Structure 1
């Protein structure tokens, strides 16, 4: 035996596989790979979802409660406090102020003399016309006697009829002259009476525009000497209301105002008149809405500047929401995009977002009156205490749980 024959590897050989066994082994290997691939994909999907949720922003909603209260729409305007009736006292004649009997805050009665113009020039004119009237009246009386005598002689055929008729003409001419003189004398007497400046009403002097010794000229227009307020216990505020607000103001609307002299005091009044005459200053058109106010304590004085608030409409004890809630839109800047509106039975409706159980919920509502702070809700699934969304904040969180999506 050779040396090569003695060295034999001790290898155990398995019996050869048949063709069916080889195919079965190949099939089992392919199924395992498929199962392994599905498991890897499932793990990858779960990881992607976890990564997406953990990397998104967390949304914090800002809410305000639904309340029940009053809604008041008001118009603000500035105005001036004035007496209800102010009488301008002037002078009909010209001359020098000889005496003054009234001053500021003087209580006057109807017919009381407040000033006197030098009457001497007017008295001289009256004396002149009175003298002419007396002279012409005497001539007329004589002519009338002559006429009666001539008419008697004509009846006796002792005088010509033409002479009597001429005398009648002289009498009628004399009557005309007497009437003219009487008119001139009456005018002179009236001018003399106008030298007394009297108050036509009972009231108080709020302005005096003349001094003793001053010359008053009334040739072109009547000068204003005094302003007399008939009753300072009743005042009015003449407001300068813009043309965009005047349409909502009606007679009888309640109003409040303040004046600088009493900053802590609020005065109450009512709109007594909305005047049709426009006032244009530098192409700005305003209208006068007159607010009447009681001034029994004489607190208000003419000329004060008033900051007026006129209530044009009001609702009491209604459900209301803040105006920010009507401007909120999820996913966008609050207050920049108005909410969509629709028509429900002819009434314009819009939407609100409520936070219910931590989930934003959209509801349909019908808004009513608003006062720039709150809006009345006339129709909608709302009750006092509900939380309306007015804003949202986005904050990053690595492992925060994503909030539920809004439901409609």
Structure 2
């Protein structure tokens, strides 16, 4: 009986020892790799913006009145000088007639004043001669001289009145002319803000009646670029973009202007970049949202690796335990930041460090500008540990004795 108990105890200890060895064994490590390969790398700066016409003219009115006629509507092509609207001219025509009458009366008064001045001058000259002959007194001559001077002053006043009424007439004629709204440029009407019968008032601010895009075959995008990326943006760089109306059609453009004035919104600093776009088929419309990619660098047929390869670092057993305790996947970047090296999977399935010099990069790949890496080398991008299997086999409660 005692012998049976000893045998049973030995069997229990053997099972417990086997369970402990199985539960605490180091898990098998596998690696996800990607080959170092040759290809093109395009570095871009992403942003969004809105399309607009390069030149947009707002057409207003300098006179107040009621809209009598509208001769254009949205999308109407217009020529420079073409009549596009008419304000009721009745009041302006009456004002022209009134000021013209005032001007003609002023001209008549001027002629009358000049005639009176000429008569007063002749009387003064005659009295001067009669004074020498002793026919008239000095007082009579002085009175004639005064009347002559008054007549000259009356002529000057009449001339001023003529100038004043001429100006009033010109102003009335200008107002009558401005009651007819004409297009200042060749273009397309993209906005209309008035209707027939509506009263417009030109007071301190000129009301906008129409907005005319001068040329929709040439458009622009105003986009905001973050201050961290603006140093890489230059005038003349190529741009690709898409719009929601044509999500599968990439459009090409070019950077035309990088503005130096910062735009601060909630402590975020951005800079406006203006991009010019050719629109010969008129597919693009003002106001469309453009998803822009500014090409800030391009290299062709260079050796490149995934960017994840620079972040990968092999973990020690201690780090492995800490990573699992902290919820990080095995092989993830811990406190050891990725330097200029990658790890190649050797024939023995072990990670081997290789020093490299990096060049141009984008969100997915980075150029290998130098170092010991060769084309086709399997570069480790992630370490995979079968944690799920461990949990299934060794994740139960500890065996009790």
Pairwise same-fold verdict (TM > 0.5): yes
- Between the aligned partners of 1:376 and 1:267, the Cα distance in structure 2 is 27
Query: Which TM-score applies when normalising by structure 1?
Result: 0.77
Select 1:145's aligned residue among 115, 121, 125.
115
Q: 1:65 to 1:375 in 2, by over 3 A?
A: same
Corresponding position: 1:246 with 2:214: no
Contact 1:238–1:291 (Cα < 8 Å) also in 2: yes
Select 1:352's aligned residue among 336, 339, 342.
342
Aligned to 2:364: 373
Select 1:89's aligned residue among 59, 70, 75.
59
Query: Which TM-score applies when normalising by structure 2?
Result: 0.78
- Between the aligned partners of 1:350 and 1:240, the Cα distance in structure 2 is 32
Contact 1:334–1:391 (Cα < 8 Å) also in 2: yes
- Between the aligned partners of 2:331 and 2:162, the Cα distance in structure 1 is 93
Aligned to 1:73: 43
Aligned to 2:74: 104
- Between the aligned partners of 2:40 and 2:336, the Cα distance in structure 1 is 24
- Between the aligned partners of 1:209 and 1:84, the Cα distance in structure 2 is 21
- Between the aligned partners of 1:213 and 1:380, the Cα distance in structure 2 is 78
Select 1:388's aligned residue among 379, 384, 395.
379
Q: 1:280 to 1:98 in 2, by over 3 A?
A: farther
Instruction: Give 1:382 deviation, angstroms.
Output: 1.6
Contact 1:328–1:337 (Cα < 8 Å) also in 2: no
- Between the aligned partners of 2:311 and 2:105, the Cα distance in structure 1 is 95
RMSD between aligned residues? 2.5
Deviation larger for 194-203 or 159-168: 159-168
Contact 2:355–2:373 (Cα < 8 Å) also in 1: no
Deviation larger for 73-82 or 97-106: 73-82
SS in 2 for 1:288: strand
Aligned to 2:34: 64
Aligned to 1:131: 101
- Between the aligned partners of 2:145 and 2:280, the Cα distance in structure 1 is 80
- Between the aligned partners of 2:31 and 2:196, the Cα distance in structure 1 is 77
SS in 2 for 1:275: strand
Cα deviation, 1:325-360, whole Å, max 9, x if unaligned, reads 11111125434236567xxxxxxx722212233343
Select 1:118's aligned residue among 77, 84, 88.
88
Q: 1:395 to 1:87 in 2, by over 3 A?
A: closer
Aligned to 1:235: 219
- Between the aligned partners of 2:232 and 2:90, the Cα distance in structure 1 is 59
Cα deviation, 1:284-309, whole Å, max 9, x if unaligned, reads 54433222111111111112122111
Contact 2:242–2:250 (Cα < 8 Å) also in 1: yes
Aligned to 2:191: 207
Instruction: Give 1:106 deviation, angstroms.
Output: 1.3
SS in 1 for 2:340: strand
SS in 1 for 2:359: strand
- Between the aligned partners of 2:333 and 2:251, the Cα distance in structure 1 is 39
- Between the aligned partners of 2:25 and 2:182, the Cα distance in structure 1 is 92
Structure 2 stretches of 5 or more lacking a match? 1-20, 130-140, 320-329, 390-401
SS in 1 for 2:40: strand
Q: 1:168 to 1:208 in 2, by over 3 A?
A: same
Aligned to 1:274: 258
Aligned to 2:355: 364
Q: Paired residues, what number? A: 339
Contact 2:331–2:384 (Cα < 8 Å) also in 1: no
Deviation larger for 169-178 or 270-279: 270-279
SS in 2 for 1:200: coil
Instruction: Give 1:283 deviation, angstroms.
Output: 5.2
Aligned to 1:176: 160
